[in-house]
Chain A
Amino acid sequence: MVTSPFALLVKGLRKSYGDVVAVDGLDLEMKVGECFGLIGPNGAGKTTTIEICEGLLERDSGDLEVLGMKWESNGDKLREKLGIQLQDTQLSEKLTVSETLRLFRSFYVRGREVSDVIDVVQLAEKKNARVGTLSGGQKQRLAIACALVGDPDLVFLDEPTTGLDPQSRRQLWSLIEEFKSSGRSILLTTHYMDEAEKLCDRVAIVDHGRVIALGSPAELIESIGATIPAPPPRTTTHSLEDVFVALTGRTLRDE
């Protein structure tokens, strides 16, 4: 099989919906084993980019390699190796946690034991509960379990912690860190800068369909220190949030 040092290689990616340009010449290089963050305001093109990488959307132009393979020639193989959590999927409320995971497991030729994945996302107590009775955090953990059950080499997590309480968020963080420590690659989008700072090795800030800044959270914070005014007195250093707002402005973006 092809071994590529890159989990994801994106060059000059473009995609428009009618007159609206969603992705406008975006480049990304994500290494194997890396946790890579994609951050940006609403409508910046993050979800479109991710869905193109997941093989769910066709791109208009640009080069794309996922795990060293191309969607056009290796689609079936790629689907076996990717784990995906979509922003807005609602799993069937009538099924139980373990029924849902058995279903997802059945799609993959090889993968992890269902009970094993249930333990990893700490849903063992809920394994016979209907999905409809789960809390928001539990549903999100189940969605991630569905992404892990095929034993993927690369997972895409699109705003996995949006709308969760701090406890659930921290629980998800440790889950992501655990997965990362096993040498797999993660592409993550989030609106929470503390999350990106904590989890991601490198971050790309995306706006208007392009990458406008790239680097480790520390590098980004350092690079911006010189150009923006001193932070409010309460904090001692700049945070990634300051970088983000400085680069993308304060105007509200509503989708």
Chain B
Amino acid sequence: MSEMNVSTPPRKFSDRSLVQLTLVRFREFIRQPEAVFWTFVFPILLAVGLGLAFRSRPPERPRVGVVSSGAPADVVLASLKKDSTLNVEAFSTDTAGEHALRTAKIAILIVQDGAGGVRYVFDPQRSESANARLVADRAIQTGAGRADRVRVSERRVTERGARYIDFVIPGLLGMNLMGSGIWGLGFAIVDSRSKRLLKRFMATPMSRAEYLMSFLFSRMFFLILEVITLLGFGVLAFKVPMRGSIGSLALICVLSALAFGGIGLLIASRAKTVEGVSGLMNFVMLPMWIFSGVFFSSSNFPNIVQPLIKVLPLTAVNDALRANMLEGASLSGVSTQLLIITAWLIISFVAALKLFRWR
């Protein structure tokens, strides 16, 4: 009856429901300051903190204590002081020296043995003490006239890519992809469900596929920002290497974001309350924070659990990102990881769509 007086003008692009749904995702995200903080600021703060804590420093000079009483001791003291790699401290009595050793103020104590020789007092379990013994011994023997038989030369190499910050930036990126994917989809969907908004949408002609796609589109958009912020920061502030091709890196990131989005969707597929889904998300993410090699290499875990760790999605993502950035690996070099990520993507999406509760 009313078709006649209501016209249907050709719809503007911005009036399409997929565009509107995606815009809603953007708006809801940027109007939530805490989400912006956790997604963009927090990873950078973490990188700064870790970068400062584990920055590369020249190795410390071993601190060597000498009990100086009498002429032979002066010779020893002189030889040690000539060696610039040592930090030498003289003690007037044995007791003072041993106290310094016990309280770890020195790594090794050198005393006269009374027969013209020296005795090294040290704890062989402490690596700096063992090192101090070798260096001090070399200084004393050289000072007493020992000659080197073999001519040596040195070439010094400092490799970018082998520092802790180089290890941790790809890990943080992987962690970020996981967090935004799982939280971004899981939280927003369950929030809409618990507020009966999803049910309200179901009473309109809204396309379910477009509703879900709007999440993926907005994820892809924020993904670009997240990756550029974190990697840009790593490259500019810490000169983290980017040895692989940018195209392959982009593909790894997109696949990973989709896989984590699928896992987020799966986690959110039935949960009715935000509290319920938060617990589920932490339950899924916590093991990966620990086992998947974000902050330290996953190879620290026993061999028997390695196969399990390798199939975790975050392990595959971190390994692929590191291989690309640090070793310049090609896509075929990370094919196993890509396969694992793709498998997670497909399995989680299929399962999520089967289980999804639309109201």
Residue B27, interface by CB 8 Å: yes
Closest A residue, CB atoms, query B198 = A89
Q: A94-B32, A151-B6, A153-B2 are in contact. Are A106 and B15 (CB under 8 A)?
A: yes
- B204→A55 contact, CB < 8 A: no
Which of A15-23, A108-116, A232-240 is the contact stretch?
A: A108-116
> Which residues of A in the span 66-86 have a Cβ within 8 Å of any Cβ on B?
76, 79-80, 82, 84, 86
**What is the CA–CA distance of A95 and B27 in the complex, to the nearest angstrom?**
7
Residue B115, interface by CB 8 Å: no
Q: A106-B17, A112-B6 are in contact. Are A94 and B28 (CB under 8 A)?
A: yes
- B203→A86 contact, CB < 8 A: yes
A residues near B16, Cβ cutoff 8 Å: 106
B residues near A88, Cβ cutoff 8 Å: 196
A residues near B6, Cβ cutoff 8 Å: 110-112, 151
Closest A residue, CB atoms, query B15 = A106
B residues near A150, Cβ cutoff 8 Å: 204-205
Which of B18-26, B254-262, B305-313 is the contact stretch?
A: B18-26
B residues near A91, Cβ cutoff 8 Å: 197, 200
Of residues A86, A92, A150, A151, which shows the largest number of chain B Cβ atoms within 10 Å of its Cβ?
A: A92
Residue A197, interface by CB 8 Å: no
Residue B103, interface by CB 8 Å: no
B residues near A106, Cβ cutoff 8 Å: 15-17, 19-21
Residue B61, interface by CB 8 Å: no
Residue A192, interface by CB 8 Å: no
Q: A95-B24, A183-B1 are in contact. Are A104 and B195 (CB under 8 A)?
A: no
**What is the CA–CA distance of A11 and B34 in the complex, to the nearest angstrom?**
52
Set A82, A90, A92, A103: member contacting B203, Cβ < 8 A? A82
Residue B206, interface by CB 8 Å: yes
- A89→B196 contact, CB < 8 A: yes
**What is the CA–CA distance of A73 and B201 in the complex, to the nearest angstrom?**
20
- B197→A89 contact, CB < 8 A: yes
A residues near B1, Cβ cutoff 8 Å: 153, 183
CB distance from A57 to the nearest CB of B (A): 9
> Which residues of B in the span 1-52 have a Cβ within 8 Å of any Cβ on A?
1-3, 6-8, 15-17, 19-21, 23-24, 27-28, 31-32
Of residues B16, B32, B199, which shows the largest number of chain A Cβ atoms within 10 Å of its Cβ?
A: B199
CB distance from A55 to the nearest CB of B (A): 7
B residues near A109, Cβ cutoff 8 Å: 8, 205
- 1/0 per position for B219-244, CB-CB distance to A under 8 A? 00000000000000000000000000
- A79→B204 contact, CB < 8 A: yes
Closest A residue, CB atoms, query B24 = A103
**What is the CA–CA distance of A43 and B354 in the complex, to the nearest angstrom?**
32
A residues near B24, Cβ cutoff 8 Å: 92, 95, 99, 103
Inter-chain pairs besides A92-B192, A153-B1, 8 sampled, C-beta below 8 Å = A84-B204, A91-B200, A95-B24, A99-B24, A104-B204, A108-B204, A151-B2, A183-B1
- Residues of B whose CB lies within 8 Å of any CB of A are 1-3, 6-8, 15-17, 19-21, 23-24, 27-28, 31-32, 192, 195-197, 199-206, 359
